Structure 1
Amino acid sequence: MDKVKILAKYMPEQAAPVIARWIDHYKCDFKVSVKRSTKMGDYRAPFKGQNHRISVNHDLNPYGFLITTVHEFAHLLTWNENKNKVKPHGAEWKTNFKRMMQPFFDMQLFPDELHQIIVRYLQNPAASSCSDLTLFRALQAFNATSDLRFVESLPVESSFMLKNRLFKKGNKIRTRFSCVEVSTGKIYLFHPMAQVVLIAPADNKD
């Protein structure tokens, strides 16, 4: 199966030929990765004769997969232009990210409400789309339905599972939620958009 057909399984079909050309033009080893809890995509510069390497998590919805892919290709282009002389998410990367997103805006790939949020995000893009809660929430709206919930949507005192560990949700501390691991009593701070499995709603204590 050719690259375009494979890529079209993970991103909007119209975008696949563009990304396939980038892979060939930049001599990039592109991999669809297993889910990683710490990142959605990754870029590795050429080393000891290797090609550029990009990996993107397989479980992202098509819009999230495409944006993450462009994010990583912007790293590739920035490295080609500057090597390691600039910051990973500095002005050069931000400029390249905006430029590389333009073909997909021209195709009008994104639903109107998502398009506007992406445009605002690109005014000063963050190191990860997870860092921008407005964009992250908007992208999550296009996920297939599942048993997963966002921590921010759970009632305080409700119980949830993550990686076979049971937690109880507490109050928000600045930007994250304080949650206790039931078996150890240890406190962990959860990102509002962390996806977990709700076990039981909080008891009604009226």
Structure 2
Amino acid sequence: MSEGQQYTLQCEVRDVAPVKNLTVTFYRGQTALGEPKSSKREKDEPKPVSEVFTWNITSTKEDDGVQFWCEAKLELGAEGPQPPPVLEVSIPPDPIIIREENPLTLNCSSVGNPPPSYTWTPPSRITSPSNGSVFFINSITREDEGSYTCYVSNEKGSISVQFDVTVQANHLALIIGLVVAVVLLAVIVGVAVFISYHRYYKEGAYNLWDRSSDQRKGLEV
């Protein structure tokens, strides 16, 4: 570097967006020289761009051994970088088959920015449905069968997800009830047989006693 000569400093910035929030500063040592403006700032480019910033200097003898450098800052506010608005919901399996008296859990979790809100519309007698991403029934009945709709919404929009629930009869309870009925019927039949046998035995004993008494009376005469 020769004293009195003019030089152009260059600072290349790659893949930056939005460029309107970009600030490039040239330094001589720890002293700021200036902040050149971006030629693309007015276009408000939403996509990442690359640009070469320049700054002209005239060298002096004081520049001997001094480091010239640049700094690039992307100002995104106090909250820092934010992802773009989005709303995504997983598609549930169709249909959902569950046995009666079992717990039912429906998950309508989604990915969203800003965080989404949830509204449920159940098909049955439930009057106070969940307002979160998970819908839960402790013990489902046949009356709870049908379509459950989850509405997910944020600033990006609204999405509805439908869960079709089929409730099957609890065969275990039916089998237990049938076994109890058979056992009860067997007990009733056993008691009836016992009573009939006991009655028949007593009547036979009385007849035998009466016949013996008549025979003794005949002998005495």
TM-score, normalization by structure 1: 0.17
The structure showing larger relative contact order (alpha-carbon pairs under 8 Å, at least 6 residues apart) is 2
Identify the structure with the greater strand proportion. Answer: 2
Higher radius of gyration, 1 or 2: 2
Identify the structure with the greater helix proportion. Answer: 1
